[in-house]
Amino acid sequence: MTPEITRTTRRRFLGRSLAHGAALIASPLALSACAGAVGSSGASGGPAGPPRRGGHATFARLDDAISIDPVAVADNESIWSVSNLFARLYRSSATSDGRSVPCLATGHSLSADRLTWRFSLRKGLRFSDGSPLTADDVKFSIDRNTASAANGYMNAAIASVAASDAHTVEIRTHYPTDLLGVVSFYGNGVVPRGLGGRTANAFFARPVTTGPFTMTSWAVGQRMVLARNPHYWQPGKPYLDGVTLTVVPNDNSRMLQLRGQQADVVEQVPFSQISSVKAEPGLRVVLASSTRLDFLILNQRYAPLADVDVRRAMSAAIDRDSIVKLGLFGYGRALGSMFAPTWPDYDGSLTPPTRDVAVARRLMKRSSHPDGFRVKYSIDTGDATQATAAQIIESNLSDIGIKVAIEEFDPNALFNMIAQETFQMAQTDLSLDVMDPFENVPYLIDPHLSGGLGPSADLDDPVVLAWDRRAQHSTSSSAIRDAYAHVQTRLRQISPFIPLYSQPYAYGTVDRLHGFVVPPTGDYRLEDAWLTT
């Protein structure tokens, strides 16, 4: 035993102890090589060339979809998943031309009385399981959406849907109206008649789809795996064999996954990081025009905000350019209309008001609150751009005697406060899912629409309602444009909402991913994406 003592010195013991600890810590290094889960950051985009078929892309999103049932979804992640699973008769153009273009239909005709729309289906359409897609399936899908609680509002103009033959769908409307936006709507995505005899839960757990992809597995809240629909109507598309939609809510973590090439696409690159991502070899930033507009909603039940001069003074005092520069790092656009520039029938003559404190003070002086007032300003706690905008607005309004108290709420609480009219001033946003302002204008101005912003702002303006009605009850594009121009002008005059800015969709991609297309409606076209090796 004594020799043992001389051999194992204290120093040697310490060395061994540390070595054993280090070995335990280091063992995953070896295992990580076996796992093969580590991407190389050295990959760079080769020459694009013609689209290549094959490969599997990973797409890191902020959140998971809640549902993939077209008639039940209301959040963007679900809507954009649905758009890649269930095709519609028409869909929004991928460019910013504000049009709807044929998808499952080849085109349409309109009856002389402008009440019946006839859509011709493409020949040989099939569901992802190979079964034929007929007009009966389209009728079932549109009727199902009309009856739905979440999305039925878009089909309000539809009186009836009929399958006049296997390849023709006739939709009759209550009044003459432009129906192309309606048939482009995600809620009218086509599913098999009767959901193939299954319950909704069973069907959407293993759906039969009409879009470019079908869903092979879904670990809710974690990942959704999409595989190519072999019977998609566009020959050769999609190019990718599959896509995994993962959930990475943290902005920094998502960006790191892109930098580590663990994700091929990431959603919502923070504006503060766009320049650094752009500068990094092997990465790209896709900045796509969006239909989103961010604005202030003013609750006219709060006495000072019931005065139109106060509201206009506030609009005149706000420095939108600074918000775009500091909040959006220059990647947005100041707004002067309650239509974003990408919306159909946007009135470009309504330029954003330049901050003019003298005008604002004059308006305040002649208002019912010439000495100013205090107002609570509610914003979304997780939105960095909103936080910056709020600080700028707080400073701007103090110049005209309005003392702003910024209050932050989680999105759900803020949404609830606006719906229940328990706010004074709040920042919120709107975007279009189809290229038709009808989706949002009644939501903005209808005083009787439950959950709408009209009741929240206590807005009841017969002039704007009349112009909106005229737009809805027309099939003439020029008449619609004229009516919506009046809607925008009137909203600017009475200022129940103060438009602030529009912002683009910002995606980061690895440069071996090509063809990632994001239309202004946000429903990215994964069918066009492809990977180089």
Partner 1 sequence: MVDDVSVATSPRATPGNAAWSRLGAVVRRALQAIPTAIGVTVLTFLLIRLIPGDPARTALGPHASARAVAALRARWGLNQSLPVQYWHYLVHLAQGNLGQSLFYHRPATAVIGSFVAPTVWLIVYSALLSVAISIPVAAAAAVLRGRPFDQGVRLLSQIALGMPQPWLGLLLILGFALKIHVFPVGGFGVGLAGHISAMFLPSLTIAIGIAPILIRALRVELLEVLGADYVTTARAKGLRESRVLLRHALHNAAIRAVTVLGLNIAWLVSGTVVVELVFGLPGLGSLLVTSILQRDFPLVQGLALLFALMVIAVNLATDIARSVLDPRTGLS
395 three-state secondary structure: helix
Site string for partner 1, 183-202 (x = CB under 8 A): ------------------x-
Q: Pairing between strand 265-266 and 56-61?
A: parallel
Q: Is 410 in the site for partner 1 (CB under 8 A)?
A: yes
In angstroms, what is the minimal distance from the CB of 385 to partner 1? Answer: 19
In angstroms, what is the minimal distance from the CB of 225 to partner 1? Answer: 12
28 three-state secondary structure: helix
Pick from 384, 154, 127, 106: which is nearest to 251 by CA? 384
- Strand locations in 220-279 (E): 223-228, 242-247, 265-266
Contact set for partner 1, span 335-394 (CB under 8 A): none
Non-local (6+) Cβ contacts of 236 within 8 A are 53
Q: Is 411 in the site for partner 1 (CB under 8 A)?
A: yes
Q: Which is nearer to partner 1, 41 or 272 (CB)?
A: 41
Q: Which is nearer to partner 1, 104 or 425 (CB)?
A: 425
Q: Is 451 in the site for partner 1 (CB under 8 A)?
A: yes
Contact of 92 with 434, CB cutoff 8 Å: yes
In angstroms, what is the minimal distance from the CB of 410 to partner 1? Answer: 6
Contact of 214 with 128, CB cutoff 8 Å: yes
In angstroms, what is the minimal distance from the CB of 375 to partner 1? Answer: 19
Span of 15-23, 267-275, 465-473, 508-516 interacting with partner 1 by CB under 8 A: 15-23
Site for partner 1 (CB under 8 A): which residue of 59, 80, 117, 153? 153
In angstroms, what is the minimal distance from the CB of 458 to partner 1? Answer: 17
β-strand partners of 222: none
In angstroms, what is the minimal distance from the CB of 252 to partner 1? Answer: 6
Non-local (6+) Cβ contacts of 524 within 8 A are 80, 83, 84, 507, 516, 517, 518
Q: Is 112 in the site for partner 1 (CB under 8 A)?
A: no
Report d(CA 232, CA 523) in Å as an integer. Answer: 17
Q: Which is nearer to partner 1, 18 or 479 (CB)?
A: 18
Token pair in block for residue 162: 């009929």
Does a cis peptide bond (omega within 30 degrees of 0) precede residue 47?
no
In angstroms, what is the minimal distance from the CB of 448 to partner 1? Answer: 10
Site for partner 1 (CB under 8 A): which residue of 164, 222, 234, 349? 222
Residue 295: count other Cβ atoms within 10 Å of its Cβ.
23
Contact of 51 with 514, CB cutoff 8 Å: yes
Q: Which is nearer to partner 1, 1 or 358 (CB)?
A: 1
Provide the b/e sequence for 400-436 (b: ≥16 CB within 10 Å). bbbebebbbbeeeebeebbeeeebbbbbbbbbbbbbb
| Alpha helices per DSSP H over 323-410 | 357-365, 384-398
DSSP notation for 478-522:
HHHHHHHHHHHHHHHHH-SEEEEEE--EEEEEETTEE--B--TT-
Q: Which is nearer to partner 1, 2 or 478 (CB)?
A: 2
In angstroms, what is the minimal distance from the CB of 475 to partner 1? Answer: 23
Q: Is 149 in the site for partner 1 (CB under 8 A)?
A: yes
**Burial of 47 per CB tally in 10 Å (0-12, 13-18, 19+):** exposed
Q: Is 67 in the site for partner 1 (CB under 8 A)?
A: yes
Q: List phi, psi (to 5°) of 177.
A: -155, 160
Q: Is 66 in the site for partner 1 (CB under 8 A)?
A: yes
Contact set for partner 1, span 495-524 (CB under 8 A): none
Report d(CA 69, CA 195) in Å as an integer. Answer: 11
Q: Is 43 in the site for partner 1 (CB under 8 A)?
A: no
Token pair in block for residue 396: 């701007």
Site for partner 1 (CB under 8 A): which residue of 114, 223, 369, 486? 223
Span of 270-278, 314-322, 326-334, 446-454 interacting with partner 1 by CB under 8 A: 446-454
Contact set for partner 1, span 289-328 (CB under 8 A): none
Give the interface size with partner 1 as a residue count (CB under 8 A).
74
Contact set for partner 1, span 248-287 (CB under 8 A): 248-250, 252-254, 256-257, 259-260, 262
In angstroms, what is the minimal distance from the CB of 467 to partner 1? Answer: 21
Contact set for partner 1, span 457-476 (CB under 8 A): none
Q: Which is nearer to partner 1, 143 or 399 (CB)?
A: 143
In angstroms, what is the minimal distance from the CB of 529 to partner 1? Answer: 21
Site for partner 1 (CB under 8 A): which residue of 1, 112, 279, 358? 1
Q: Which is nearer to partner 1, 223 or 301 (CB)?
A: 223
Q: Is 35 in the site for partner 1 (CB under 8 A)?
A: yes
